[in-house]
Amino acid sequence: MIILFDLDGTLIDSTEAILESFHNSFAIHRHRAPSDDVITRLIGHPLEVMYRELGVEEAVVWDYVATYKEQYRHIFKEKTLLLEHAVEAVRLAHEHARLGVVTTKTGAYSRELLEHFKIMHYFELLIGREDVVHPKPHAEPIEKALAFFTCSTERCWMIGDTRLDLESAKNANINGIGVLSGYDNKEQLLTCSDVIKKDVLEAVKYIVKK
């Protein structure tokens, strides 16, 4: 069995680091910054998509991404928290399945975070934004994981807190479980999956009982 985890809103909370990095980049480029609520609603999308949605012109989107990353790399460890029960969930999952991470965050930062929290060794695979052409909700990130694990789709699960995670799971023809610890609410998640749990530990418990 394979269990794939999203990061932000599923295992970690890096909202503070994300918001600070966005506001810093808007200040550097002398662009009026959107509200925290507007930015937060887009978390889960790749950075370039978020900036486009926030009104940045296509020609300079990657300049904004670069200034975001410059700030983020200085603060992301100290301003990111593990969500409650995340470690317990990962340990339980590891007892029953092979594990991977599928995220739209930069893979290098994601790996550093998981090493910082001393749980990276539980995961055999980490797929970040730079590892795919088409990020979630496209099937590509999960299909890359399936190719690595050589696992049948019915024995593979994706746990995530947004519709992007669940749509990616559906597009890859694997099982998707939504969790309420992150950025999408229950009504939004129910549009993509009928299995919604309070947090990642409850999701893992559901899987291992199947």
| Longest CA–CA separation in the chain, Å | 53
Distance CA 165, CA 36 (A): 22
Q: Is the peptide bond before 137 cis (omega within 30 degrees of 0)?
A: yes
Q: What is the pTM of this model?
A: 0.93
Query: In terms of domains, do 67 and 140 share one?
Result: no
- For 97-108, write each residue's pLDDT tens digit: 999 999 999 999
Query: In terms of domains, do 68 and 86 share one?
Result: no
Query: In terms of domains, do 36 and 139 share one?
Result: no
Q: Does position 203 have pLDDT exceeding 80, yes or no? A: yes
Range 177-200 average pLDDT: 97
Query: In terms of domains, do 86 and 139 share one?
Result: yes
Query: In terms of domains, do 178 and 101 share one?
Result: yes
- For 26-38, write each residue's pLDDT tens digit: 999 999 999 999 9
Query: In terms of domains, do 108 and 30 share one?
Result: no
Range 92-116 average pLDDT: 96
Distance CA 96, CA 94 (A): 5
Task: Tell me the CATH number at 148.
Answer: 3.40.50.1000
Query: In terms of domains, do 123 and 29 share one?
Result: no
Query: In terms of domains, do 22 and 68 share one?
Result: yes
In the numeric block, which tokens belong to residue 37? 């609520």
- Per-residue confidence at 122, pLDDT binned at 50, 70, 90? very high
Total domains in the chain come to 2
Distance CA 207, CA 180 (A): 16
Q: What is the 3-state secondary structure (H, E, C) of the chain?
A: CEEEECCECCCEECHHHHHHHHHHHHHHCCCCCCCHHHHHCCECECHHHHHHHCCCCHHHHHHHHHHHHHHHHHHCCCCCEECCCHHHHHHHHHHHCEEEEECCCCHHHHHHHHHHCCCHHHCCEEECHHHCCCCCCCCHHHHHHHHHHCCCHHHEEEEECCHHHHHHHHHCCCEEEEECCCCCCHHHHCCCCCCEECCHHHHHHHHHCC
Query: In terms of domains, do 60 and 87 share one?
Result: no
Query: In terms of domains, do 9 and 19 share one?
Result: no
Query: In terms of domains, do 134 and 168 share one?
Result: yes
Task: Tell me the CATH number at 42.
Answer: 1.10.150.240
Range 55-62 average pLDDT: 96
- When the pLDDT of each residue in the chain is averaged and rounded to a whole number, the result is 96
For helices 200-208 and 86-96, give the axis angle rounded to 10 degrees. 20
pLDDT of residue 82: 97
Q: Where a domain ends, among 23, 41, 75?
A: 75
pLDDT of residue 72: 95
CA-based R_g, the chain, Å? 16
Q: Which domain holds residue 66?
A: 15-75
- For 140-187, write each residue's pLDDT tens digit: 999 999 999 988 888 999 999 999 999 999 999 999 999 999 999 999
